[in-house]
Structure 1
């Protein structure tokens, strides 16, 4: 990548637009699982620079909404939140990748001004924009795709080069900020071995991460349950690897399909 192209990308990371320009591809009006400890709603921001091999929200990858997305305006979201005071505690920006949107910062600030806690789901590929909104966040779920020391593996999973470096920077920002953080990894045996999972978790432990969740890849819902287990592996990761993970994190979280 040329220096000129790299400079343009960095400028785009910190450029800003009003919340009215936010491209929302869907809204979950109530959830108990997307913001730990809070009753919340979730906005799914349209667009993602990565093409993860196991992406469950491919309709949100493009910045241009298509027929499969439930487009929602910012005006609707503000009206919705004004009516939900006392019924929900927080609001989560998810995706796609929410930090891709230059209107995110203003939207985050305006949700905070309404009195809600703010959560973020991110892959960490836009550290500059993350740094801009960190003072307004109450919780972050950071997706770690592979060992951060294995750049080729990371690039293979996300379909883009140079990804791990950005995620390392985002992780450092989050740890320094003191914002409540959950790191989590979606794992499939074709892309991450048990040894790589343990290596990844050791890296996070050494960095100072306190909460880690392992999410076993979930096949599309239309597949029969027995085929899901056959493809992913009912015993992946193996008991030895699980024991190592639990030793590293006493409150280790395992999420199976």
Structure 2
């Protein structure tokens, strides 16, 4: 039986099987409790607080993953925000001992911890919220763009495979700001970028849900952004 790490990850839930959370691989997703930001479009608000013990014991997660060996290829740490948890690196090492690749969904809220776990990660889905000088509009937390930019710079320097993506909503990102943000990402060296159009399903923000999404972003806006990245996509659901 695998001995759990001395520092135990606070897990909010587990998805046993997914074909969409790690490109090209079958994976399980471990949802980590905790996030310091309060994005209005968040679909996992129940994972923002950190409870004393977590909803699922890490030892039980490891036992489950042992039984999945040979059935899945990878384990993705999502949230919440996985870098909120100081036990993240220990959990990633546990998972690697079982032979799984490791994926990470992160917005880079904790830059130092994000940098430390990069050597343990095979792929990162990195959420970019807004232009870095205007992050508070989305996260509702001052100076949040500073941590996000530092984390993204570390990711681009690391050589780890990644995808940058932004959830877009006309109230949070008017097209002028969307274009300014995308151009800045291109200038930083981002090669793989995705726009994820806001969807009401799962959102608890009534103000965002009340805004009509038809025609946003415009075809002209999408065409401009597409021209700045070697690999670009738009996801509408």
Calculate the TM-score normalised by the size of structure 2. Answer: 0.91
User: What does the per-residue CA deviation read over 1:77-125, in whole Å, with 9 as the maximum and x for residues that have no partner?
Assistant: 1111111111100000000000000111100111112111000001101
- Label 1:83 to 1:101 Cα distance change in 2 as closer, same or farther (>3 A): same
Match 2:112 to one of 107, 118, 128:
128
Choose the corresponding residue for 1:83, options 63, 67, 71. 67
Q: How far apart are the structure 2 equivalents of 1:183 and 1:64? A: 29
Secondary structure, in 3 states, of the residue corresponding to 2:200? Answer: coil
Q: Matched residues in 2 for 1:43 and 1:51: separation?
A: 20
CA distance in 2 between partners of 1:40 and 1:82 (Å): 13
Contact 2:37 2:139 in 1 (8 A): yes
C-alpha contact 1:20 1:74 (8 A) present in aligned 2:
no
4+ residue segments displaced more than 3 Å: 17-20
Which of 216, 220, 224 is the matching residue for 1:240? 220
Structure 2: runs of 5+ lacking an equivalent: none
| Aligned with 1:23 (options 5, 10, 13) | 10
2:36 aligned residue: 49
Give the Å deviation of 1:20.
5.2
Q: Determine whether 1:145 maps to 2:129.
A: yes
Which residue of 173, 182, 196 corresponds with 1:192? 173
Whether the 8 Å CA contact 2:191–2:230 is kept in 1: the answer is: no
- Distance in 1 between the 2:211 and 2:179 partners? 21
Gaps of 5+ in 1: 1-16
Give the counterpart of 2:163 among 182, 196, 199: 182
Deviates more, 1:119-128 or 1:78-87: 78-87
Cα drift, residue 221 of structure 1: 4.9
Q: So what's the TM-score if we normalise by structure 1?
A: 0.84
**What is the CA distance between 1:55 and its match in structure 2?**
1.1
Cα distance in 2 for partners of 1:183, 1:222 equals: 21
Find the aligned partners of 2:43 and 2:71 in 1 and give their Cα distance: 29
Q: How many residues align?
A: 231
Computed over aligned residues only, the root mean square deviation of the Cα atoms, in angstroms, reads 2.2
Residue 35 and residue 54 in structure 1: after superposition, are their counterparts in 2 closer, same or farther (change >3 A)?
Answer: same
Q: Is contact 1:30-1:39 (8 Å) kept?
A: yes
Which has the larger share of helix? Answer: 1
